[in-house]
Amino acid sequence: MSAHDYGFLAIDGGDLPLSAWRGRPVLIVNTASFCGYTPQYEGLEALWRSCRKRGLVVLGVPSNDFGAQEPGSDGEIKAFCAQYQVSFPLTRKVRVTGREAHPFYRWLASELGERGVPRWNFHKYLIDGEGRAVGAWASSTGPQSKDIAAAIDPLLPAGN
């Protein structure tokens, strides 16, 4: 099994299979609108804009699992994200922890052990082009941190 065996539903409807991004690294982040880390949307958007031409995908996965900080509907979440000019793909709201967790998050936990279980909103995971989980960062690590950049850069082709 790899990340490419899983998919989500897009916040606007339709499928978001991770296999659509085969060959490209994907930074997957469970998000929430009313969290102290919510301003990280700005960094996620900046990362998306600066690296998407080189192949990076940023995927936001709204979840209400931590502190009930994502209580809104998918439409409300999308409208909220417009404040941050979010243009990277967003999924419909899902569970990311426990027995009800989305299958992708259960896979992450089996692949990465404790590192694969999100502890709060804005936990970040990096999937390489082959669908392997190659990195995980706590909420306190910003999307434009040196650690995340050092993990993403070798997965991207040189240039732009």
User: What digits encode the pLDDT tens for the residues 34-74?
Assistant: 999 999 999 999 999 999 999 999 999 999 999 999 999 99
Q: Tell me which residue range forms the domain holding 67.
A: 3-16+23-155
pLDDT of residue 119: 95
CATH code, domain carrying 49: 3.40.30.10
The domain tally of the chain equals 1
CB 4 within 8 A of CB 22: yes
160 pLDDT higher than 70: no
157 pLDDT higher than 90: no
Percent of the chain with pLDDT over 70: 98
CB 106 within 8 A of CB 15: no
Q: What is the pLDDT of residues 133-153, one digit of tens each?
A: 999 999 999 999 999 999 999
**Catalytic hit among 9, 35, 109, 134:** 35
Q: What is the pLDDT of residues 74-87, one digit of tens each?
A: 999 999 999 999 99
* Residue 77 dihedral angles phi and psi, to the nearest 5°: -65, -45
Tell me the C-alpha to C-alpha distance, in Å, between residue 150 and each of 105, 144, 147, 158. Answer: 24, 10, 5, 14
Strand order in the sheet with 57-62: 57-62, 26-31, 124-127, 133-137
The verdict on residue 7 lying in a domain is: yes
- Tell which wins on pLDDT, 157 or 104: 104
Give the SS3 label for residue 74.
helix
What residues form DSSP beta bridges with 9?
A: 15
* Residue 99 dihedral angles phi and psi, to the nearest 5°: -65, -25
Longest dimension (CA), the chain: 43
Nearest Cα to 38, choosing from 88, 89, 77, 93?
A: 77
Q: Is the dihedral of CA 7, 33, 95, 93 positive or negative?
A: negative
The tokens of 66 are what?
Answer: 């931590």
35 assigned to active site: yes
Average pLDDT, the chain: 96
The verdict on residue 10 lying in a domain is: yes
The verdict on residue 93 lying in a domain is: yes
The verdict on residue 160 lying in a domain is: no
Burial class (CB within 10 angstroms; exposed 0-12, middle 13-18, buried 19+) of 82? exposed
Q: Is 121 left (phi over 0), alpha (psi -120 to 50) or beta?
A: beta
Confidence of residue 159 (pLDDT cuts 50, 70, 90): low
- Tell which wins on pLDDT, 62 or 114: 62
